[in-house]
Every structure is written in C-alpha cells, then in structure tokens.
Structure 1
C-alpha cells in the first residue's frame, strides 16, 4: 500500500465556523521545526495562506511550539497556551521530538494531549509529521516509521486529520523539485525552502477541507469523546502553583525574562536546597530551565529511598535555556503523595553549576 501524505478524517467544523464569524485563531504546538522564533518555519506560509485566502477575517496566531520539547511537556502547557487562548484549530507536531521516547510513554502523553485539545469540542486538531534522518530507511522501504505510525493510530481513533509533511518533502526531492540540502542542510531542520515545502503540504490539505463546496458541519460541543486507548494517558494532567512547593534553603520566586514561555521560576543556586511538594494523583513531573549549569538532583517519594535523577547534558545545550520536563513517576497508586527534592554538588559530564529553576509543577491524575 502506498504511503499517504494526506488523511482526511472528520471535518474542520470549528475552523469553518470561525471563518464565517470573521475571526480565526490558529494554534501550533511542537518542537524546533514548528517554533516561531526562526521566523521561516512552516507555520509562516500556512499563516500567510490563511491571511491571503480570507482577507475579511481577523487571523490570530498562537504558536506555542518550543524547540527540544515533546508531547510530555505539551500536556502541561496546552490549557494555558492553546485552549484558554481560544484556538479554533491546532496543528500538532511531535513525530520527531517524541521519536526517541519509548512507545508506551509517548502513547500516554500524545493521547493525553489529544484528549485535552478535543475534550470540549471547541477546536479542530490536525496532526503534522515532520522528518528526521532515521526515518529515511523505513520510508524508502514503503513503511511508516514507528513514531508516525503510532500517531496515525491515535488520529484514526479520534477522527483527526493528518498531513505527513516529511513524506511530501521527500517526494519533492525524489522528483528533482528540491535538493536535499535545500530541504535539510543538517538532516533535521528545514531551510526556508524546506519549510515552504512543509507548508505547501498543509495548505493542500486545507484547500480540500475548506473548499467552498463543502458545507460547515453543525458543531456538537456536547459530543462524547472516544474512549481512551491507553488508560494511563495524561489527559487529566494539571499544573500546581509554584507556591505549593515548601522550601528549605535560599529560594526565590522571580519573574523569568529569559524564556518566552515561562512567567516565573522558583530559583536557587545553593547546593543542599530542598523542596517538598505534596500532591494528589498518580504521578508528578517538573519543568525546569535546564542546561550545563543546572544542579545535580536527588529525590524521594513518600519518604522512600533517595534517588539520583540522571541528567544527560548534551553538548548543544548551553548553561540554561532548555525548558525540560523531568518525569519523576506516572505509575503511583492514585491518591495523596509527597515529593522531596534536593540539589547537591556533582561532577557528572558537562556539569558546570548548581542552579535549579523550577518553572512547572505537573501532576498526572
């Protein structure tokens, strides 16, 4: 069976309704390939197409994508950065950034994200799949890479449309319409030309879905969401205020001016500083401003043994600037728990500091 670039499932009813009403809010979430900051990534031609095609409609853009982040962090950001901002359609890009995550974990987080976005029936969702070099071999063999295939299983279950942007661009290269180095000079991040190809594939999908001869479908806000595929999905994940953390040692809560998606952080630079976080749920994850100057961390749950959280510090990461999610556990018995966390002096590879800057306290229910 030939690999499909476009999969049309359901109807973009919320998008059509918003266009008719004269104001459309576009949402994007994903990693660096979708991040707005380079100013040439694929959302830009898609946004331009909407503006050009619907000149009488006010177009609002909420691009919540952050480089080097996956669907796990997105679960804790979707409510504030997409849902509460009134997005009528959200494009979700995690085929690449979840690629190295174990299947069971990424199925939990991806399904949780989809359920959050779809739950109230007020927005459309489109999955878009980008490309990394290790996807090349299965694609040339006519197969879906596992990360893409698993997203398609979820898309089919929840009747969500999808666009395989990476396959569209690869076929352009195969047809001689674009050189590989025009697409992916580092085998991952597109140039302006490659981003345009990605955008063209999405625009093709939208033209078919939003054609003038297709009628808006009546919205069903009270519709039943499909039963979950994985009972351990993260759809009920919530964030706690930073003030819920009890501190020991020199901590401050401060406005964080160095990262667009973080309002405040709970900050210390002192080895031996501790946090105690009571929570109710079956798991907890912490979003921190991470880098080579981040402290070594140990933790314990419910008064158990202390464990060292092994922190890989890649060469490309600076002293800070990576909003990274540290998942402590998502398989506790549901109920009341307590996390204790302590910084300490360590000498792991690339460790250059003792900072801890906590931006998100995420609880998985």
Structure 2
C-alpha cells in the first residue's frame, strides 16, 4: 500500500536556493491546484514557505488550469515553468488524467517529468488528490491505478510524493473533518478540504527542508551554479532511461506564420486566458488552414467553449475526419484551454494536415469561433 509520504532523493535544488536567498515555487495540475479560486492548497503551502524562510525572496509560478491534463502540460512546461525559473515544482494529475488510458497517461506524465528534470533540472514532487471514482479502492486499502502509475514514475526518477487524498480521507475517518467540509461535489475541495491537502504537503516539506537538515541530513547530491562545474550535464546524464519509450518529452510548436491560410484569419495577442500567448483566429465557416510538421504526433490547443466551431481535417491526404467535442454544462462560450490530440503514433518523419472550419451539428455548439492557441508536434 502506498504511503502518504514518500521521501526519495530529497530536494537538493530547493535547499540550495534557500541558502542563496531566492526560491521559485512552481505548480501544475488541474482545478484543485488552480490559483484563481484563491483558496486552493498551494496558498497555505506558499504561506508556510514565507513563514519558515522569511529571509528568502519567494516567487510563485502557478501554472495549473482547471479541466486540463498532463497532455496539455507537456506543451506548456517550458514556457510556464522552466523558462520562468521554477526550482521546486508540484505536479498534480492523478485526478485529471484518471479517465485516460494507462499508455497515454504514462507517455504524457513521463514526458512532463523528463522535461522538468532535463538540463539544469529542478526538484519535482508528485501530489495525488481525490476523485470519487477512487473511493472503493481506497476504502479497501488499495491504490487507485492512476496513483499507482504515478508512483512507478516516482520510484523510477527518485521523486518525492504526497498522497493528499489519503491524508484527507483519514481525517474524515478519524472525525476531524466532515465529508461535506472536504468535497461537497466529490471532487473540488472547500477551504477546509484545501487546507487538509496543504497540511499533508507541509508535513512532507517539514521533513525534507527542516527536520532532516536540523538532524544533519545528507548534503545535496550536486550544487547549482558555477560551483557545480557542469551541473546541467550532471543532472541531464543522471536521468534513467524512460519507462515509456514513446513518451512526450520532445515537443515543439509550429509557428502560426508557417501555416497556409485561406479565408479571413487573424493572428492576435490573446488577453482572455493568461496561459495563451497568441491565437490564430477565424469565425468563418469554410476557412481553411494547412501546414507541414516533422514528428510522430500532433495535438492542437484551443480557447474552447460552446461558441467554438468544429472542423474537419485530414492527415497526409487521407480520409477526412470531423471533430465532435463535448461541451459540458459548466463550460461558457469560451475560456477552456482545451487540447485535441490528432495523432501520436504516426511514422516518424514529415507529415501535413489540412483543416476546414465547419459549424458543429451538436445542439450545444452555438458558434463558429476557431481559436487555435498552438499546434504542438510530438517528436
């Protein structure tokens, strides 16, 4: 049975940054971690850092977005975490990846982890929240598959982990917290539930950053900066071989400027979602788009909602396929940063895609807004 706290290789970079006086915390995950509600579990964790290390200049990059999974995260990690200097990154995808196949979520999660550990590296902590589908397994002392698979990656890469959902469920079973104080809808925690999640993470951090160091714990495996010599080389070479050879570590974006367009298209700076830099936009039925890419997979990111168009597409001159994406009751006319995976098992090499905007046949499709945030290639 997986423990609540799994201490593995330690948080060497975090300790180094604390000693240097500047630390950047990174978070990535779904709605349970999203900063916008202002009461989710990262907030008490950030407050703990500020309290325990008042001499440190603390920076925060919370890149979590509701209703998104690790597949979108692999296309965002470079811009939203790595380029912004995150030293310690908390990854939360046990819930939002729950309904994906084991193979796909294995590829995307490992791709994200390998990106974060590449180059000069950074500390990564895996955090596991709760969804009601996990109830039966957990009440029978078992580990839900989504969490067990993340634990395999944690063991493989030496990453610490915190089973926040187990900690909170234990609080309920001990009578410290009512279920409705934790998860009134079975998924999203209240302020009290978020605090429970945070407490479990804080206990992990106390052991890693306070207790072990106070007891004369082991020195970090490698120092950062000039004293480390070639630290980038050291950490890059220390990564083990992947568990999923077709993981999504190597991704890139196709520039909008390289796409052929027919019809009224506009490239514009996007102010509606801070996670999207620019969009390639049209609302014209029949507008067309095509481009070439080198790789074995392609995924398209959108600012999506009920007013979004559907489209038809074909790869390499093959059969046309028509998209039909669900539009849950909670989604608005726009505002959902949504990923659509076109393929991830193509023959390695050059490919081309053709796209044509259409009006969807679903009653919930109320418009023809086509707002492409990126075209992501999987190498």
Match of 1:105 in 2: 104
- 1:313/1:349 contact within 8 Å kept: no
Question: Which deviates further from its counterpart, 323-332 or 211-220?
Answer: 211-220
Instruction: Pick one of 256, 260, 265 that aligns with 2:270.
Output: 256
Question: Which deviates further from its counterpart, 196-205 or 252-261?
Answer: 252-261
Alignment of 1:1-365 (within 5 A): 2-211=1-210, 212-213=214-215, 214-219=217-222, 221=232, 222-223=234-235, 224=237, 225-365=239-379
- Cα deviation, 1:91-110, whole Å, max 9, x if unaligned, reads 00000000011111111100
Partners of 1:305 and 1:28 lie apart in 2 by 40
- Cα deviation, 1:95-150, whole Å, max 9, x if unaligned, reads 00000111111111000000000112431000000000110110001111111111
Shift of 1:240: 2.4
- 1:3/1:142 contact within 8 Å kept: no
1:95 aligns to what SS in structure 2? coil
Match of 2:226 in 1: none
- Cα deviation, 1:215-258, whole Å, max 9, x if unaligned, reads 43132541321101111100001122222221111100112111
Shift of 1:208: 0.5
Q: What's the TM-score, normalizing by structure 2?
A: 0.94
Shift of 1:184: 0.7
Partners of 1:72 and 1:139 lie apart in 2 by 26
Count how many residue pairs are aligned between Structure 1 and Structure 2.
364
> Which 5+ residue runs of structure 2 have no aligned equivalent?
223-230
2:303 aligns to what SS in structure 1? strand
Partners of 1:216 and 1:192 lie apart in 2 by 37
Partners of 1:199 and 1:74 lie apart in 2 by 22
Partners of 1:142 and 1:326 lie apart in 2 by 35
- Cα deviation, 1:48-95, whole Å, max 9, x if unaligned, reads 000000000000000000000000000000001000111111000000
Partners of 2:205 and 2:67 lie apart in 1 by 27
Structure 1 ranges of 4+ moved more than 4 A: none
Aligned-residue Cα RMSD (Å) equals 1.0
Partners of 2:129 and 2:360 lie apart in 1 by 37
